[in-house]
Structure 1
């Protein structure tokens, strides 16, 4: 029987429960969110003379929790309209409704006795065959299994989401002693295909896989701080983006998650893993115990390892905790010479060998840290997992590491990793010695575009399962390369579809990228069927190379700048009007030029987590790569008979003028950056490139015909221009914008109105592109624009001048 999930019940509406409910709503599932009935009235309810029997009161806990979640930042939901898919209730009045759901997810407090009470009640109403899972982060599934019916046990297991469920991709599936095999397979596939997760089947061991290794890694650092005489800022500097981990690094991450959450898991590991050779590390250091006693839990309590304070003048600053004195002091900005050696190396994996060879305090830190990590993970197999790649998958998806522990070990080299462990006094596991003695020497290998891992029992490389739905560019970049330059790598994805992968700094768009994109279109038109533009980098593209623009502008080389901008525009128009289908597959940040490229593709296959927008106002210009033209065109396409056309145009004007960035691909539909009926969204980012290839191929097979250039874009002339100029005057008078903001906005108004035309007129795209380029160039001659560009280059954030 084919199992389908149309409706789920989430039991428990705390931060995690509400987050899980929102994510199911994200993917179109109907959700029933239930929680307990309040035991007493609050002050507001007393003033309203309500009773405990009133429905508003009885559902207060669940409704308040859901609303708090929906208002949180970052948002747990792709689009606020999706919240309508969630209905709420309580565990007394509405528990019978679980008979109508396909999956029940328990997310109540981490106490076995309470969970068992909840299961007792659920079993009275659950229909046979309904999936039922627990989001426990550490209670063994086998304990929760006790006393349940055979049908319950067959369909029961753990499904551990990581918080926040929308953003963290790890989805651990933990079988119980009686869970049916087909249930595990279904949940694993559902997590990957529908929830957009990295599904990892874990063993029923304390903290499973992700938290077992992740909490060890953090606790290990806690115990190293004083031994290495290193500050929390120094550790955060060394354990952040430098080694491919989130900007929040270690201590800031703990502040965000909550120290009490970490301590809860660490205590559980200390109590429940007596045979763990590093059990002592899960015991809390003195400074953690003092922080817990003082209620310094992080963001939730207002202070943790860092504390934000407000000064008398209204400004704010961040203080740091000195772990020696346990007092807050001015935050330091540590500098390490070692970072100068790696700053030009974009490939994080290539940094690891350099980091461990350094003689400085930082080098010593990395040697000790990696040695401890390698020694720990070697001993967790087969305890927590039989396959080493599952540990890497868990750390990447659950903790945001770019590289898992075994991938880091591969990067420094097997033998070097063994040497580091021996120097720190760790024993080498038998299976590591076997691998060292063999001819293989690596944990991973790539063959025919697929990733293989070292299978310990078989003592050979075995293909990682589940790759067939993915295209991993790292695995095919060299074997299927058809062209490359400094800016791009072009690969043959198969079936006559090429892929253009940006390889510039932060995937910014410069001359090399544009040359490579044009060359790829040439190749595709001559010998292939279609073109995809995608990459597996941290971001799709942060936009045009503003450093190049700044250099031309400062040197007043306006002819060269004009040629560069025209080349950008012409390349975008080639994306639109080539003889082969073009598909853009953006993910994460697709800003400025990255957005413009997407606007000009025949189709966009966007990751749900795509943050896309035209943000050029932040550097003092208007979109100059076709973005201003395209939003004018798209506004005109929405004009309808008897409609107020100016209102439609104003919406698109404000999208650019306010530098709006969609906070998900679904929000991009509201901005008309993505177009309904044409562009699509994929929840699992790992499937994005493969899906884009399928659509490019489908368009080619259906008989793709080169589009006819548009020469009938309706612009409104003075009707729109006058209204926009009045609006910018009012905004400046009200001190909502600066004088320079007004100047930029007026330039944009001129372009999007089609110029100073006396009446609405039909114009060509090229007409609008010429206006756009002229406005862009004139703004590049403004001192305040140059100040904005320079500030963005130096500080990485906009200047309001």
Structure 2
């Protein structure tokens, strides 16, 4: 903690100790975009939520036509009902699972404010107006029970002003929180106490946000826009200024500020369209007004084109045009046009190419690109030098104004704005001294503490010692461990101390307590020969000297599946023996993971497709991140799952039912999931698809996943794990199943829903998942089904249309429909 909080002074103040506080029921006040989605995320983690909003003054025309009056519940709850219905239908969905909507009850301020007496937490999310918020809190005070947690989800109003005039019990239990939109997906939760907030409340929110809501919780000071928006909006406004100075286009800037520097694909201007131009201009204007002493205050002055866009209501996605606009071209095809900021006219987006970017194409690790980017001799290099110089100056001067510790600024920008690398981490990547040289050349100057740090012989903001990542603490002029990370296993921190073995595509770590971990680190974590070697090596080492194994990584995604480039090369050259060997090795590896003498837990997260899904399905246990997008997607490229995926689905259907139509129905569900390349959009949905099974676990906080997986391994080992035997009793349907599937496939083909090649691939899948051309339902072995998988995969890999699909994916990232 970096501030001191008062403790209750009198016995009539009910502050619940952090260790004893429980959130069973919560009330969310305000059902707008943020309020309804915060309610959904609380429902995601099992909380019963009451969502309230204002009651209409009169029925609308549709309600009048039904004979409803202002006294009818449907009318009184119309605003909240419409908002919540819109939220649960939105894409991306705010719920992990559609059924979780039942955990949210709806009401209005007039009829249901009294019901907050049953809530453990009341979250205010009404309009950003201090007077309105204070009026709402006056009502809350009437009905809340002592000790109830009260928070405001504001993005800019000073937190201490909202608590004025409230009782001592209220202010002790009151705190600011700031979720980022959308709350399910953006991991930042800023916690902003007032001087009167009890320390137990702060401790609880920091813990609950981390452990239960899955957030990166950052303790903030009550300063304008807190941490993430203060720095993030500065960064956007700085980019706009540099763009004007260098006479650059929107397309050029978005090319330079996207994935190449570890930012979102939507980069600067596409992100602004999604968030809303009005939001950007409001925050920037508020910061200018609230920060008379900010050395970079003028950066928040709105340029004329932003004022004109706002006047034109070109606010982004919400008004169908902003910095970008979707239109229909002369040939009837949809096109995306970008705005010329000089003429305020739209034109087709142009191709962007910079020599500096070409130099980074072979650099996979984002942090390793920054040194190259700032050396560029073209306009891109100049852009990066100016951008980083201004950003580094700004964040250095924000300590101790907005945070006493620099790591909080990095945490906030990574979790709130989706930056893969925080500002001080970027500075470290370039080199602290080298970056100051660049800054000096551009007339920028870091805060004095940075030059003092260098003078004392400290050359970086972060360092790893003994497997612990430490940050430079400005106050004590020494390095300290980052609080809270002792609860995480961070693989990057273990590379110098706990690495057991490695090759170009995988690394084996000692995770402690007799558990090994094997990590993939190929492009998109595709599963090539190096990964297969690493997994087999890890199993061998574990069986010899350890208690269990975790298969997981901390890349952006667990795995995009098999190495299609290698498969394509072999198939084009008609090296089918090589293709056969690839499949056999993969099958043998996933089967070895399943039938080793030690417990193996797989920890999927993000994209977990094809072979990544097959690895997951063959684990003794799965510790999935809540945000796991998993499925068997091979049919999209004209193949079938052949790393045990089709076999495993047949096995699971066989194990789940006994006889009769339900068996065929379940088999048909499994078939359709594979045939349509369906991907679960959360770990919870993966249970519905029979990819995850009873006993598998979910980590809401991605940062905790590897540690959770390690604990899962130890639980299995301590429970007396015994090596299982391969199954020989898988019931398959044979001709009956094939006939069922072929009827459906033929109907789809006749209706022109699928192509001729789709039909061919689907029939191969039907043949394998039904156990082949058997005369009657019977029991088969796992190996029998694996052989069928492999044969079907081999035959399809020789099909011209399959190769065309693979090539289109490799070249452009999209699969053609042929």
TM-score (norm: length of structure 2): 0.97
Please give the residue correspondences for 1:552-563 in structure 2 after superposition, counting only pairs within 5 Å. Answer: 552-563=570-581
| Counterpart-to-counterpart distance in 2, 1:223 and 1:261 | 18
| Counterpart-to-counterpart distance in 2, 1:99 and 1:333 | 59
2:703 maps to 1:686: yes
Partner of 2:12: none
* 2:498–2:510 contact (8 Å) kept in structure 1: yes
C-alpha deviations, 1:322-375, integer Å up to 9, x for none? 011110001112011212211111111111011001111100000000000000
Report SS of the residue matched to 2:289: helix
C-alpha deviations, 1:597-654, integer Å up to 9, x for none? 0011111100000000000011110011111111111111112355531111000001
Measure how far apart 1:312 and its partner are: 6.2
C-alpha deviations, 1:655-678, integer Å up to 9, x for none? 1001000000000001000112x2
| Counterpart-to-counterpart distance in 1, 2:502 and 2:265 | 31
| Counterpart-to-counterpart distance in 2, 1:550 and 1:409 | 40
1:737 to 754, 778, 782: 754
1:292 to 300, 303, 310: 310
| Counterpart-to-counterpart distance in 1, 2:634 and 2:580 | 17
2:749 maps to 1:700: no
Partner of 2:615: 597
| Counterpart-to-counterpart distance in 2, 1:314 and 1:637 | 51
* 1:618–1:799 contact (8 Å) kept in structure 2: no
Partner of 1:779: 796
2:779 to 758, 762, 766: 762
Partner of 2:134: 116
2:809 maps to 1:792: yes
| Counterpart-to-counterpart distance in 2, 1:46 and 1:703 | 67
1:370 to 388, 412, 426: 388
Measure how far apart 1:401 and its partner are: 0.4
Q: Residues 86 and 348 from structure 1, CA distance in 2 versus in 1: closer, same or farther, beyond 3 angstroms?
A: same
| Counterpart-to-counterpart distance in 2, 1:644 and 1:117 | 57
- Superposition CA RMSD, Å: 0.9
1:660 to 656, 678, 700: 678
* 1:583–1:601 contact (8 Å) kept in structure 2: yes
Partner of 1:675: 693
* 2:27–2:51 contact (8 Å) kept in structure 1: yes
Q: How many residues align?
A: 800
2:544 to 523, 526, 543: 526
| Counterpart-to-counterpart distance in 1, 2:422 and 2:488 | 19
Q: Show structure 2 runs of 5+ residues with no match.
A: 1-16
C-alpha deviations, 1:669-709, integer Å up to 9, x for none? 01000112x21111000010000011112212222111011
| Counterpart-to-counterpart distance in 2, 1:213 and 1:60 | 38
Partner of 1:565: 583
| Counterpart-to-counterpart distance in 1, 2:492 and 2:568 | 33
Report SS of the residue matched to 2:315: coil
Measure how far apart 1:315 and its partner are: 2.2
2:742 maps to 1:725: yes
Partner of 2:155: 137
2:596 to 578, 584, 589: 578
| Counterpart-to-counterpart distance in 1, 2:776 and 2:485 | 57
Please give the residue correspondences for 1:93-172 in structure 2 after superposition, counting only pairs within 5 Å. Answer: 93-172=111-190
Please give the residue correspondences for 1:291-440 in structure 2 after superposition, counting only pairs within 5 Å. Answer: 291-311=309-329, 314-440=332-458
Partner of 1:185: 203
Report SS of the residue matched to 2:486: coil
Measure how far apart 1:313 and its partner are: 5.2
| Counterpart-to-counterpart distance in 1, 2:469 and 2:95 | 33
Q: Show structure 1 runs of 5+ residues with no match.
A: none
Measure how far apart 1:431 and its partner are: 0.5
* 2:392–2:446 contact (8 Å) kept in structure 1: no
C-alpha deviations, 1:282-319, integer Å up to 9, x for none? 11111100000000000000000000013465421100
* 2:356–2:377 contact (8 Å) kept in structure 1: no
C-alpha deviations, 1:697-738, integer Å up to 9, x for none? 221222211101100000011111111111100010011111
Report SS of the residue matched to 2:58: coil
Measure how far apart 1:478 and its partner are: 2.8
* 2:629–2:682 contact (8 Å) kept in structure 1: yes
Report SS of the residue matched to 2:110: coil
2:242 maps to 1:224: yes
| Counterpart-to-counterpart distance in 2, 1:575 and 1:507 | 18
C-alpha deviations, 1:467-488, integer Å up to 9, x for none? 1210000000231111111110
